[in-house]
Amino acid sequence: MTDAPMVGSMPTSAPSRGGATVFDVHDVSVHYGDFRAVRDVSMQVKQHQITAFIGPSGCGKSTMLRCFNRMNDLIDTARVEGDISYHGVDLYDPAVNPVEVRRRIGMVFQKPNPFPKSIYDNVAYGPKVAGAKGNLDDVVEQALQGAALWDEVKDRLKESGMSLSGGQQQRLCIARAIATDPEVLLMDEPCSALDPIATGRIEDLMVEIKERYTIIIVTHNMQQAARVSDRTAFFTTEVSEESDRRTGLLVEFSDTDKIFTNPADERTENYVTGRFG
Ligand SMILES: Nc1ncnc2c1ncn2[C@@H]1O[C@H](COP(=O)(O)OP(=O)(O)OP(=O)(O)O)[C@@H](O)[C@H]1O
Ligand SMILES: [Mg+2]
């Protein structure tokens, strides 16, 4: 991670490595209209770690993930309550520019979604939008190298991103996300559309690049969480008092080893041992 200058009111990453707190989350609840989708989440996300979010469908994993780069701002009915700070700065402060937030905090989605453009242009797009001028060959090569895709595509950069296999497309999306030099990568089930070999490559890639990035991954694959993550957050749903719909909550957040071998909460144990539901 290079030391980018201060942009707007967003801080750069702290110089110390490992152990620094990137996100500090206090009592966050998210509503969609009147419905409280997830409640009272407090957690700290550490630099250069992979943090996994696991839990049953509808427990608010994607909703929480979107809070970290203000993607919920794009959903009309969504309302985020509580505090999320990024290196000590309130992410939801009116002075903070959400576009800059999303450049610093990139996102990779469940379904690979390359633009209908060339492989080169997919990667060059973000830097261009951010104002990069001139020859972007080096930026494109570096990002593709960083996503472990360069060797497979270096002779076909002009071909469409859509012509790649699913696993290659997902690595292209990772290259596109890292081309803007983000600090954090948010990944929402990035491997669920991929076969085991492509999944293995993405997992290896995540472990390799966590030296440079801070990663939060949502996954339904518990082996994946156990293989790649340092810390795991287990969410579940409970019927809320205010309605008969289920609201998500964070049950336990701990070292991944502990979550999978010696969880503190019975609900976590039931889930990770497959006794859920
Ligand atoms: N845009 C939206 N508008 C209204 N309700 C939503 C919206 N997105 C999610 N929800 C609701 O919020 C709750 C949490 O959804 P979310 O997608 O965060 O769960 P999840 O844990 O990611 O589930 P999955 O594992 O199925 O992806 C669910 O009850 C869902 O129906
Ligand atoms: Mg989801």
Whether the pLDDT of residue 14 is over 80: the answer is: no
70 backbone φψ class: left, alpha, beta (φ>0; ψ -120 to 50): left
Mutation test residue for ligand 1: of 28, 32, 64, 217, the one with most atoms within 8 Å of CB: 32
In a domain, 36, yes or no: yes
In a domain, 156, yes or no: yes
Ligand 1 binding pocket includes 163 (Cβ within 6 Å): no
Ligand 1 binding pocket includes 60 (Cβ within 6 Å): yes
The domain tally of the chain equals 1
124-183, pLDDT tens digit by residue?
A: 999 998 889 999 999 999 999 989 899 999 999 999 999 999 999 999 999 999 999 899
In a domain, 110, yes or no: yes
Query: What is the domain range of residue 119?
Result: 12-272
Ligand 1 binding pocket includes 234 (Cβ within 6 Å): no
Give the number of other Cβ atoms within 10 Å of residue 222's Cβ. 18
CATH number at residue 150: 3.40.50.300
Ligand sitting nearest the alpha carbon of 247? 1
In a domain, 24, yes or no: yes
208-249, pLDDT tens digit by residue?
A: 899 999 999 999 999 999 999 999 999 999 987 767 789 999
Q: Tell me, in angstroms, the distance from the centre of ligand 1 to residue 224's CA.
A: 21
In a domain, 198, yes or no: yes
Ligand 1 binding pocket includes 67 (Cβ within 6 Å): no
In a domain, 56, yes or no: yes
In a domain, 5, yes or no: no
State pTM to two decimals: 0.90
Give the number of other Cβ atoms within 10 Å of residue 257's Cβ. 12
In a domain, 226, yes or no: yes
CA distance 8 to 16: 22
Which residue puts its alpha carbon closest to atom 9 of ligand 1? Answer: 63
Q: Mean of the per-residue pLDDT values for the chain?
A: 91
